[in-house]
Structure 1
């Protein structure tokens, strides 16, 4: 047994789980690729300790700890346990009527007391998820310059070109396992927010820890600032980014290439780089360029696809048939729409053994110019071309619904109110139980509301959305809308990659994640019309997703943490960060 003294407290490496070292508090250390250095000495006391969010416990410091760490007089006399602190904090949060104020209070807590922040988030995930993630995080990004207090991640701008590796070394944590990076060009459905897009990586990584159990010290949010084309921000005196139009072409590509090479050089082959909210053209290009040389994942393309596919697989229990029996129509042919479409085609191919070129024919896409058909091939962007099928041109969505007769309607357009009453009524006239997914975020951009979907379909629709909606009562029956939220997938997906030591991401891993999530939907959930399980069980769900993803990594020969643990679900649970306070002595 080895031990290390941290802030005067002893952490003990007490157990080995399937070849991975786990410390006394159940936190996994095997993924750090290093054992604890014995007697590594680091002591922090007094006001320094109270200002360190990782070790500060506020009023939870015991009498003994207050004496040992020179805290006498620096705290009021009362001693609160973590549960009482959490109760007080939730009481205070609920006093705020404006969601953005709740967001700011939670960010302040994260900067003050990290373990209490994650305890509150884990225990109240359904209530707080819309605050730290969509839809409130969108408003936070829009106003980031005004509410900015202290930096929460790394900012890499064009000013740092040629010295990105040095910038990465400025980050205090050396053992990084997950990076979420954005260039702020397409934040949710809100457009180009430039440097203020940092709220997205910060929020995503909070969920990596709270929902997937990846320890906070191994997470790094990064914003790459190449300018913004948002005139409002460029003229805003409080804007915190570069005041110039976006760099494109060679200048942009060179900066991104330097960044990717520097990350790999500084953190190694197994650091997961998650691309977030890049514009379509860059998102596809970056994923294609680096997927063979880095461990990369695009949540907008792959995470969205995986969570939607999980909902479709689960919905078969309600609508009947196999996936191959259904016809899919998308409104929106960007990174989310084409990503979901391709994963559906891959899953049908896996189930039927038909070539994916054949299974794509069950899937139709509508973009701003109408139905994507073969006569438009010459003018289509490369990622839309696989979806150009033989059909006469159709301009309007409602006419496409009438012509294609889909059983599933999926919105990924980023444009609100596009699933009109006529569209929903047509879907209901064609199907006994039409499946309608309005996925665009935030709530204002949703293609239709839950109330509209249930009312216009006369209670027939099975509905899920990207942003949360309250339950709807229609003719005496309560309908609970599902939320096709990426937070179901990416935390467990990332944990699975980390714990297996995966070096590349493959589509088979995304299918494995979808199947694991779909398997977590219970009969009780189905009885309410839900096609996703409740978020209250998210850590259990994430453990199952991580286990499935890790198993696929081992099967494909892409895992480097050997040997493979016998029980991957238990191993995933043992890897998860626990936010309970530690005793210092």
Structure 2
């Protein structure tokens, strides 16, 4: 049959012409075209290249997977519908998390397609609050490792561990040491769920290519006795190392990352303990391209909520008094960014700081308090305003226009506190930002009901719409860091920023607040709908790229003239890549999808 020519179509796509010189079964190993390094079964087992039943007939034949799949060729639309239908049948959030992570492990583009199409419903699954539960159960639901695990025992060999990561072009790293996971405390190596979840949102919310993202957990032990007694725990069975060896390990990690991936590689610190979070931010921010999301990202999203609220209240931010419940890294980050915003409006730093009060587990931060205070808190220590024995006393004496909960201690915005805020203010601002949901300072329903619908409310975890007795419906805003860090990361990566200034997060807050419409504000929202977060993040990135180039903070040249087009052109999408070239030729077979 050496002179035979045949056509094969049968309604399954473009006609394929095969001109044979010996056989219609050529060896794939002789293929001259190398679009992908993998062929056959390995290509289907790689989530980056797997398309499941969406491989076309021609791809199946050329790539050596014909017969390894059922004969039907499916569209991505049909695949997505199958997974969405399965998700709807599930009621347990942890079951949904495991199912979604399973999709990610098998077919990455389909995972992001499903996530992005229902981001408002699924973000609480892949991120807070469900990711917190997944972290506590990490060793019990473990299926396949994700990211890099670096332990204190690897000191001196971190670069070689990075070399084991298969991707060579990483632009963003999210790292945790697991000491302060959400409001759940020290989870050690189980904290890996957090950087994995964060980087999912890098891609889903801002279109950063997933292969450019690297999640890392630094395991130096854990002080969680429950984990140390758990036979399924997957980390080091030792108390957390707090010696100089810990600092040396982090130093080596930072140096290894920039040595391997470049000095403009973004390194996001996530869920470190308060003390380490602040000192590492001070230590590294002028040496590396780094930020701490718990300090700076939380600050930016909270400030954006305040900037949106001032439109409803009708008074500038300089006229607000803010009382924090909690005085840790989140509270201090928000407070310092509020001070920056007030100073931008003409106040001095000292005047702005006097507008901000903090209440922690020992009481109000005031001069002469017997309990030890962190040096980071000193800027917000004031003279005692009176006899303050409780948070309710602080509200009644200080008369704040806004209370912000970041304590992680649960329902401490009591009914009396909420009623007092409603009495003291025409439009009280109430932010219950602690995560996960059971750590929130109050629910949305409590806030709206006990202030008679007057409050401007935001939470860290999602709450559904609240219907008042008179029929009014309020849609609470979710002060989720996901509104900030993906857009900031996209702008930083694209513009080659070397050091991330706090002013970047101030500009991010303003860019987010500007995108809230008057109609959304009337509905009770302080943030745009999460369903629109991809567009929100892209627009924020455009604003930030313009800002960093204008301020001389960008190092990627030549500077793009059309910055909107530049940003949008880089955004990754979930469409499947084709494995077929325009023309294809190997000994004995010629193929052209354009031929009839």
Moved over 6 A (4+): none
Q: Tell me the equivalent position of 1:462.
A: 456
Aligned with residue 302 of structure 1, among 296, 300, 303: 296
What pairs up with 1:249-398 in 2 under 5 angstroms? 249-352=243-346, 354-376=347-369, 379-392=372-385, 394-398=388-392
Residue 569 to residue 351, structure 1, CA distance change in 2 (3 Å): farther
Quote the Cα distance in structure 2 between the aligned partners of 1:466 and 1:135.
9
Mapped partners of 1:261, 1:461: distance in 2:
47
- Pairing 1:528–2:528 present: no
Question: Does structure 2 retain, via aligned residues, the 8 Å contact 1:313–1:518?
Answer: yes
Kindly report which structure 2 residues correspond to 1:235-246, keeping only aligned pairs within 5 A, or say none: 235-246=229-240
Q: CA contact under 8 A between 1:377 and 1:388: conserved in structure 2?
A: no
1:441-460 paired onto structure 2 within 5 Å: 441-460=435-454
Give the deviation of 1:41 after TM superposition: 6.0
CA distances 1:51-108 after superposition (whole Å, capped 9, x unpaired):
1111110011112212222222111122110011111100001111111011011111
The CA deviation at 1:524 is: 1.8
**Aligned-residue CA RMSD (Å):** 1.4
What are the residue-to-residue correspondences of 1:393-408 with 2, within 5 Å? 394-408=388-402
SS across alignment from 1:198:
helix
Question: Gaps (5+ residues) in structure 2?
Answer: 1-32, 581-596
CA distance in 1, matches of 2:420, 2:36: 67
- 1:470-524: CA deviations, max 9, x gaps? 1111111111111000000000000000111100000111111001000110122
For these two proteins, the number of residue pairs brought into alignment is 547
Tell me which structure has the larger Cα radius of gyration.
2
**Cα separation, 2, equivalents of 1:305 and 1:228:** 28
Q: Distance in 2 between matches of 1:60 and 1:327?
A: 57
Question: Are the counterparts in 1 of residues 36 and 579 from structure 2 also a CA contact under 8 Å?
Answer: no
Provide the secondary structure at the position in 1 that maps to 2:491.
helix
CA offsets 1:320-378 (integer angstroms, 9 cap, x no match): 111001111100000000100100010110122x3223211111111111111122398
Alignment of 1:21-40 (within 5 A): none
Structure 1 residue 546 displacement after superposition: 1.0
Compared CA separation, residues 468 and 378, structure 1 to 2 (3 A): closer
Q: Does the CA contact (< 8 Å) of 2:155 and 2:249 recur in 1? A: yes
Q: CA deviation at 1:40?
A: 6.9
Of 176-185 and 60-69, more deviation after overlay is shown by: 60-69
Matched with 2:116 is 122
Residue pairs, 1:76-155, within 5 angstroms: 76-155=70-149
1:441 CA displacement: 0.1
Q: CA deviation at 1:583?
A: 1.6
Partner of 1:219: 213
For structure 1, the residue ranges without an aligned partner over 5 or more in a row are: 1-38
Output the CA distance in 1 between the equivalents of 2:561 and 2:534.
20
Could you tell me the TM-score, scaled by structure 2's length?
0.90
Give the TM-score normalised by the residue count of structure 1.
0.92
Q: 1:185 aligns with which of 179, 188, 205?
A: 179
Partners of 1:329 and 1:569 in 2: CA distance? 39
Counterparts of 1:448 and 1:561 in 2: how far apart (Å)? 45
